[in-house]
Amino acid sequence: MNNLFLNALNGHKTHRAPFWFMRQAGRYLPEYMAIREKTDGFLNLCLNSRLACEVTLQPMHRFEPDAAILFSDILIVPYGLGMSVDFVEGKGPILDAINDSSDIRRLKPVQHKTRIEATYETVKLCRDKLPRDKALIGFAGSPWTVATYMIEGGASKNYAKIKGWAYKDEEGFNTLISIVTTATIEHLSAQIDQGADAVKLFDSWAGVLSPSQFAKWVIKPTRDIVEAIKKKHPSVKMIGFPKGAGHQYIDYVNKTNVDAVAIDTSVDPSWAARELNEKVVIQGNMDPISLIVGGEPMLNQANSIIDNMKERPHIFNLGHGVLPETPPENVETLANFLRNYGEG
């Protein structure tokens, strides 16, 4: 297979670590901002197949990473389920919150794929335009994280509303998680059908849960999604990202059956290399702030991460997404360093 990213994701040692960056398409790129300024809202950009594909490929032209990730958003799934989703400048996403079990009937699972069909056309356009030695990653938010926005109505500081519901009405909350899980399976499967080479689950708020709740609302839904996708697409590899999970990364890796796990910035790469199941590929985990700083601190951190992962298959990435204030020239410097690592 002449695809470095997929070779590593399949558990093979590669001559260098393949790399891509979370949020490698986004506000730090002037070419992205030029498109964003011409579109009526972030969600409309996500659902404009031609423009979303153009944005997906922008970092591929600039930095030549080993994989592209679909330009979209994790809140496409609740939008597909019939919720209103607005992205407000300075505030982030705003949703018409689900307040209790009686509100679940507002969701419309039957229309889910139809309402976000443009996303799958974006995948097809991107796969057609990418050379075969570059992988295309599809993605979705994990049910717990997506549900936080659906219930809190947007971002939250303490997740009191969703956590309170999960504690006091576990049956009702599980109904919502089940609906989101089914929609996520459909969403990922449709991306694979249109050409995604691998898929990733983002569980950005996994780290706010206690161990018992983590097992119920992170591990179980993730395992259900992985099993369903592998049953339908047995050759497609899955990456999980339970951000902030700490020592619970071990249970996540052992119990969800993901093929690869993305580790966040707080995780010591030497600990991950030593403690996480050797059958799982590790992705990560440079601090996005070091990418802003650039120079020697950035390259030293990159070198340290690669060195810690030298005994196992590794995909280089950040511990979270590229930040808007990141100088593009720093990303270019890092990309060149990673591409030429070990040569000369």
Per-residue pLDDT tens digits for 292-306 = 999 999 999 999 999
Given 36, 62, 115, 223, which residue is catalytic? Answer: 36
Structure tokens at 144: 């717990």
pTM of the model: 0.97
Environment class of 234 (CB within 10 Å of its CB; exposed 0-12, middle 13-18, buried 19+): exposed
Structure tokens at 245: 């999970």
Asked if residue 103 belongs to a domain, the reply is: yes
DSSP conformation class of 16:
S
* Residue 62 known to be catalytic: no
- For residue 1, the model assigns a pLDDT of 59
Cα–Cα distance, 284 to 293 (Å, whole number):
18
Cα–Cα distance, 332 to 327 (Å, whole number):
9
Asked if residue 255 belongs to a domain, the reply is: yes
Given 27, 62, 115, 339, which residue is catalytic? Answer: 27
Secondary structure class of 99 (helix, strand, coil): coil
- Partners of 135 in beta bridges: 67
* Residue 36 known to be catalytic: yes
Residues of the chain falling short of pLDDT 50: none
Given 28, 32, 66, 73, which residue is catalytic? Answer: 73
Q: Are 317 and 265 in contact (CB under 8 A)?
A: no
DSSP string for 313-341: -EEEEESSPPPTT--HHHHHHHHHHHHTT
- For residue 165, the model assigns a pLDDT of 97
Cα–Cα distance, 336 to 327 (Å, whole number):
15
Asked if residue 235 belongs to a domain, the reply is: yes
**Residues 109-130: tens digit of each pLDDT:** 988 889 999 999 999 999 999 9
* Residue 23 known to be catalytic: yes
Asked if residue 184 belongs to a domain, the reply is: yes
Asked if residue 57 belongs to a domain, the reply is: yes
Determine the structural domain holding residue 94 and report its residue range. 21-273
How long is the chain? 344
Residue 225: which residues within 8 A CB-CB, separation 6 or more?
142, 143, 181, 184, 185, 188, 201
Q: Is 231 left (phi over 0), alpha (psi -120 to 50) or beta?
A: alpha
Given 28, 32, 149, 249, which residue is catalytic? Answer: 149
| Nearest C-alpha neighbor of 78 from the set 26, 147, 125 | 147
Asked if residue 231 belongs to a domain, the reply is: yes
Which CATH number belongs to the domain containing residue 94 in this structure?
3.20.20.210
Count of the separate structural domains present in the chain:
1
Asked if residue 38 belongs to a domain, the reply is: yes
* Residue 73 known to be catalytic: yes
* Residue 127 known to be catalytic: no
